Amino acid sequence: MALTNSTTRYGIVSKTFHWLTAIGILVMLPMGVVATQMPHDTADQLARKATLFSLHKTVGVALFFISILRIGWALTQPKPFHLARKRGVETVMADTVHWMLYGALILVPLSGWVHHAATEGFAPIWWPFGQNLPLVPESAAVAEIAGVVHYVFVLALVASLVGHVAGALKHHVVAKDDTLRRMGFGRVGGAPQTPVEPFVFSPLLAVMIWLATLGAGYAVSVIDSPARNADVTALTQPETGWEVTDGDLDIAITQFGSTVSGGFETWSAAIQFDETIPAGAASHGRVAVEVAIGSLTLGSVTAQALGDGYFEASLFPTARFEADILSEDESYVAVGTLTIREIALAVTLPFALEIEGDTAHMQGDLTLDRRDFDIGMAMTDTAQLANEVTVSIALTAVRVAP
């Protein structure tokens, strides 16, 4: 059997590549659907889901590299002529679908990979080359778009595949020609047909269809995204002696050994503060922070963190921190109560403060145990989800004239 293609038959390299990637795709499609739909309510379910996703990603990345080799090889080879009576819609469609499938072999795994690289944590690729991709930032917005694009690319792949397999079967069963047999490893010898040259504009048609699919995926992700944070509680900034002009309230968790960080977009802080403790007072002042829990983004696990068993944002929409500001040695501490899920706990937040004229910068970090607030109680294995959660707050405030 010849290694290379001719205009009448496929060589052994093309055939091997075809069936290797075909089997890969046919395994990956149901694996992606099953992994996406698997429940993750208990620690065991989450571990199983993560394992299947790691397998999906690892096989997918391997398939991506095999596909590059396959396409590189195809570009050096003649494409066998169609077995048909004349050029018609069907041969043009067959060629376009071939190019759609070549595109899918690159674009489907690549979009999944971009989604993976843009999120933090959850189901690593099993290989030693890191989890990031050059040029892909770790960003919830990029992850969201890439996730939808991966999905619409999968739909385009499935549509092309249905046409492709139907065409192959039609040749085999209705026309009884050698189209399917010549992609196999056995003998050929079906009904003779007149060869028809491949349609030269098919690659261009396929590129246009892929661009339209990309545009549709992008549009869907943009239309879809405002709905996600629809139930964020509105907070009004209280009028106090200091007005917060800028700030970040971030949290970091450790899932499957890697850090997943995120933060709350909506929060307010009422601050009363004097550099010197006023006569008769026991503290420098008071701080009251209110946080809209629904405004959290946390890598790929935002929805899970806001849902049942975790923050349960729909039942407990706000968290509060109310504290007195005291000085300790050369620095400050806020000593008070943190209330999350209506569970109030005494908390001390040490923080650094720099005041230049009427502008103050503060920065503080705190480590909490999620179990104190009944968060993720089903996750008892700390290798899957660590108990410690770090919280860091940094803000800039300006003194408001009394």
Which of 247, 286, 249 is CA-nearest to residue 270? 286
Q: Report the residue number, 152 or 360, with the smaller CB distance to ligand HEM.
A: 152
Q: At residue 317, what are phi and psi to the nearest 5 degrees?
A: -70, -20
For residues 277 and 308, the answer to whether their CB atoms sit within 8 Å is no
Which of 301, 300, 295 is CA-nearest to residue 379? 301
Least Cβ distance, residue 29 to ligand HEM (angstroms): 5
Least Cβ distance, residue 152 to ligand HEM (angstroms): 10
The residues with which 328 forms a beta bridge, in sequence order, are 331
Least Cβ distance, residue 132 to ligand HEM (angstroms): 11
Q: Report the residue number, 64 or 267, with the smaller CB distance to ligand HEM.
A: 64
Burial of 160 (0-12, 13-18, 19+ CB in 10 A): buried
Q: Report the residue number, 171 or 284, with the smaller CB distance to ligand HEM.
A: 171
Q: Report the residue number, 19 or 400, with the smaller CB distance to ligand HEM.
A: 19
Q: Report the residue number, 3 or 279, with the smaller CB distance to ligand HEM.
A: 3
Beta-sheet strands, E only, within 142-266? 194-196, 242-255, 258-264
Q: By the criterion CB under 6 A, which residues form the site for ligand HEM?
A: 18, 21-22, 25-26, 28-29, 32-33, 36, 56-57, 60-61, 63, 74, 79-80, 82, 98, 101-102, 104-105, 108-109, 112-113, 115-116, 125, 147, 150-151, 154, 161, 164-165, 168, 179-180, 182-183
Q: Where would I find the H helices in 77-139?
A: 89-118
| Chain-centre distance for alpha carbon 154 | 15
Q: Report the residue number, 60 or 285, with the smaller CB distance to ligand HEM.
A: 60
Least Cβ distance, residue 385 to ligand HEM (angstroms): 19
CB neighbourhood size of 104 (10 A): 24
Least Cβ distance, residue 212 to ligand HEM (angstroms): 19
Least Cβ distance, residue 185 to ligand HEM (angstroms): 12
CB neighbourhood size of 336 (10 A): 21
